[in-house]
Amino acid sequence: MKKIYSLLIVLASVPSLACDICGSGAGGSYLGLLPQFRKRFFGLRYQQNSLQHHLGAGGTVNYLTTTETYRITELWGATNIGSRFRITAFVPFNFIQRKNQQEHLADQGLGDITVIGYYQLLNRNTNDGNNKLVQSLWIGAGIKLPSGEYNPEDKNIQQSSQNTFQLGTGSTDFSAHLMYDIRLGQTGLNMNAGYKMNTRNKYDYQYGNKFTLNTLAYHRFTIGDKISITPNAGALYEMAGKDWKVKDVQVWETGGYSLMGTLGTEFSWGRISAGINFQTPLAQRLGEGKVKGKDRGMIHLGIAI
């Protein structure tokens, strides 16, 4: 199949494949529809996530409430090897900020680099009347390297709180992925599942494992031979386990789940692609109700070569 609409998930992130911690442990794993390409592509992507923690009963804001904002500028790309193998890579540079009534902190630097390999199990094209039915199924495995700086002192600010103000996790982590795409004519449905297994870093801290399930419906409009516009909408479910610290002590105000509504548009003009998407919480319970994820957004620009 020459043109594939694939939704890449990384769980955790930001946590996503790029950053595992931003977005309250369960957040930041949405990447959007993969640009169309035959052999390889590379591009630049910008994401922004934010969360509030140290909330009071019922999610109320008090003098301890802290807002953290994560801005990620990321180099990313993919290459196909033969007809069934694909390798993707993500190199993030993170800008993080923490604000409350008593402090205003900021940091920036290289994040955790991620590499994922995929194998195509199914690639089927069949004619259904005047439209072509296209199906593809990919499985993948990934590794996240501890290239981002990890500050071991931050997790001790409050023993039960989120350890999210970090450029990286300090650990080497692994992920498994499953992607399925079905398209009739120019209308399709993309489903993606991922599970991320985190290891303990050298400071004896381990972030909770994460599960992600993502579904997107899309339709491709073409203008002439080279221009296409692909609006898409769907839902993203994320769930993370609790973190663990020294001597196997569970970090109580971590983990949880969130359900996000997603809306975006992809553009392509020849070999050039661009996209934008927005995600908003529909339901969530993060950090035992002490953490609240906010809206997220992403834009990207890439070129197929």
Closest by alpha carbon to 32, among 16, 19, 21?
16
Which of 240, 237, 216, 233 is closest to 278 using CA atoms?
233
Residue 53 confidence (pLDDT): 81
Residue whose token pair is 């969130």 = 258
Which tokens hold the place of 106?
């900021």
75, 41 contact by CB (below 8 A): no
Question: Which of 14-28, 44-58, 193-207 is predicted least confidently?
Answer: 14-28
**Cα 199 to chain centroid, rounded:** 19
Look at the chain and count its residues: 305
pTM score, whole prediction = 0.87
| 220 three-class SS | coil
Q: Which of 31-45, 107-121, 189-203 has the lowest mean pLDDT?
A: 31-45
Is the alpha carbon torsion for 37, 39, 42, 48 positive or negative? Answer: positive
Q: What is the pLDDT of residues 132-180, one digit of tens each?
A: 899 999 999 999 999 999 998 875 445 556 788 899 999 999 999 999 9
Q: How far is Cα 126 from Cα 78, in angstroms, rounded to an integer?
A: 27
| C-beta atoms surrounding 190 within 10 Å | 24
Contact 167, 147 (CB under 8 A): no
| CA–CA separation, 304 and 232 (whole Å) | 21
pLDDT digits (tens, 9 = 90+) for 44-78: 999 999 988 877 777 777 777 888 999 999 999 99
Q: Give the integer Cα–Cα distance in Å for 293 and 287.
A: 10
Q: What are phi and psi of 278, to 5 degrees?
A: -135, 140
Residue 8 pLDDT level (bands cut at 50, 70, 90): very low
**Residue 25 CA, distance from chain mean position:** 11
Contact 263, 22 (CB under 8 A): no
Residue 19: band (very low, low, confident or very high) from pLDDT cuts 50, 70, 90: very low
Tokens (6 digits) for 130 = 């005047």
The CATH superfamily assigned to 7-304 is Autotransporter beta-domain (2.40.128.130)
The predicted pLDDT at position 29 comes to: 53
Find the DSSP H helices in 106-242.
none
